[in-house]
A and B are shown apart, each in its own frame.
Chain A
């Protein structure tokens, strides 16, 4: 079962798609990347994820697995003997990792996008303040989870590193477009150091989108229609 062919349906700009790709790279599992065209959904995608119709989808043989964080857990459990564990070893630490991953998806990323969607300086300032407040929670979470090591997961990149790390491209693109640093040595020293180590990892480098390219893409999708 573990030896069947693996495919990932996704798109270069999606932070969610990055997650299974990093996980597969960490486990040294080769896979075929099937890139979706922006603005349309392939038949394979609609067939593989009829309920949500979203990317990423992992196809293991002919079996689809959907939802990025769920896919990462699936990868960890299926290829459990390949490379270090992506999930922490105790139930409590796993609960904490899942909690923060959920927080990032439900609150943090929405707050980040609010900066890009903001109309006018006041709205932008408020959106930035919101993200900075949330970053301070995550900075504390990092200190608690990492227990002095390099990553949320300890010595090795894990589930929560992947969850947050996959947002770094969009974070940097937002900083570029808004002209305001959100994660840096002054505001979030631990996260700043972590981000650098995460981005330099060989499992991450090939799939981290280029900041400038993402910023251009973000400008396009958040462009306000002419009045």
Chain B
């Protein structure tokens, strides 16, 4: 049976990036379709009626929603190469815990860094840096979050890296100064073809943030 894989996505989405990376890790051919979030396609609304959000992975006509769920689905459906989750149940539980942590905490925290000003921004910055430090501590001296091999948590976090220069610009701080090991880890991930191909230029993302700030009247 032919594998038809479509990804409904939005280029700066750090969540969409996860699914792109996972598909490329597995060598899966897919059709990337850019969504205009202010004018969502009928297909998007049909395939994700509950949340109406990207990314949506459509595999042979059947939708899978939520990026962390998509990455697990991809790992299970194309299990022949580049395992994404570890095989040991305890390691798997740890990996899931950290992606869940990123899902629950990172988005809101990073948003405050560029979408607010004054005291709200300062609080947001502190929170965000604290989260990064927790993650950096979890990474420790390992090359990747799971150890020697690139995997689920790395995929879960790396998309945010393209937004870092934007956070630094609008938050007026240096992430490398705060979390040097995390930056080293990010650069290591960027050397991987699946990651390099799936992430947009940081400059483009920073410009996108500038446009959002104008649109929200933050400037």
Question: Is A65 touching B73 in the complex (CB atoms < 8 A)?
Answer: no
Within 8 A of A (CB), among B81-125: 89-90, 92-93, 96-97, 100-101
* Chain A min CB distance to B90 (Å): 6
Q: Which residues of the other chain, A, contact B90 by a CB distance below 8 angstroms?
A: 60, 63, 65, 74, 78
Question: Is A91 touching B96 in the complex (CB atoms < 8 A)?
Answer: no
Question: Does B215 have its Cβ within 8 Å of any Cβ on chain A?
Answer: no
Question: Does A217 have its Cβ within 8 Å of any Cβ on chain B?
Answer: no
Q: Which residues of the other chain, B, contact A113 by a CB distance below 8 angstroms?
A: none
Question: Is A71 touching B93 in the complex (CB atoms < 8 A)?
Answer: yes
Question: Does A44 have its Cβ within 8 Å of any Cβ on chain B?
Answer: no
Question: Does B212 have its Cβ within 8 Å of any Cβ on chain A?
Answer: no
Question: Is B72 touching A65 in the complex (CB atoms < 8 A)?
Answer: no
Question: Could you tell me the distance between the alpha carbons of A60 and B76 in the complex, rounded to whole angstroms?
Answer: 26
Question: Is B97 touching A66 in the complex (CB atoms < 8 A)?
Answer: yes
* Chain A min CB distance to B95 (Å): 9
Question: Could you tell me the distance between the alpha carbons of A98 and B65 in the complex, rounded to whole angstroms?
Answer: 10
Question: Is A73 touching B93 in the complex (CB atoms < 8 A)?
Answer: yes
Question: Could you tell me the distance between the alpha carbons of A71 and B93 in the complex, rounded to whole angstroms?
Answer: 7
Question: Is A95 touching B92 in the complex (CB atoms < 8 A)?
Answer: no
Question: Does B62 have its Cβ within 8 Å of any Cβ on chain A?
Answer: yes
Q: How many residues of A contact B (CB 8 A)?
A: 22
Question: Is A67 touching B97 in the complex (CB atoms < 8 A)?
Answer: yes
Question: Is B100 touching A67 in the complex (CB atoms < 8 A)?
Answer: yes
A 39-80 to B, binary, CB cutoff 8 A, 1 in contact else 0 = 000000000000110000000100101110011011001100
Question: Is B76 touching A74 in the complex (CB atoms < 8 A)?
Answer: no
Question: Is A70 touching B73 in the complex (CB atoms < 8 A)?
Answer: no
CB nearest neighbor in B for A80: B89
Mostly, the B contact residues are helix
CB nearest neighbor in A for B100: A67
Question: Does B77 have its Cβ within 8 Å of any Cβ on chain A?
Answer: yes
Question: Is B50 touching A70 in the complex (CB atoms < 8 A)?
Answer: no
Question: Is A74 touching B89 in the complex (CB atoms < 8 A)?
Answer: yes
Q: Which residues of the other chain, B, contact A95 by a CB distance below 8 angstroms?
A: 64, 69-70, 72-73
Within 8 A of A (CB), among B123-138: 134
Question: Is B92 touching A77 in the complex (CB atoms < 8 A)?
Answer: yes
Q: What are 15 contact pairs spanning A and B, CB under 8 A?
A: A51-B134, A70-B93, A70-B100, A71-B93, A73-B93, A74-B92, A91-B77, A92-B59, A92-B62, A94-B73, A95-B64, A95-B73, A98-B66, A99-B64, A99-B66
**Pairs of residues from A and B, 8 with the lowest C-beta to C-beta distance, nearest first:** A91-B76, A77-B89, A74-B93, A95-B73, A70-B96, A95-B64, A65-B93, A91-B77
A contact residues vs B (CB 8 Å cutoff):
51-52, 60, 63, 65-67, 70-71, 73-74, 77-78, 91-92, 94-95, 98-99, 102-103, 137
- Beyond contacts A67-B97, A95-B69, A99-B65: 11 other A-B pairs, Cβ-Cβ < 8 A, are A51-B134, A52-B101, A65-B93, A70-B97, A70-B100, A92-B62, A92-B73, A94-B72, A94-B76, A95-B64, A99-B66
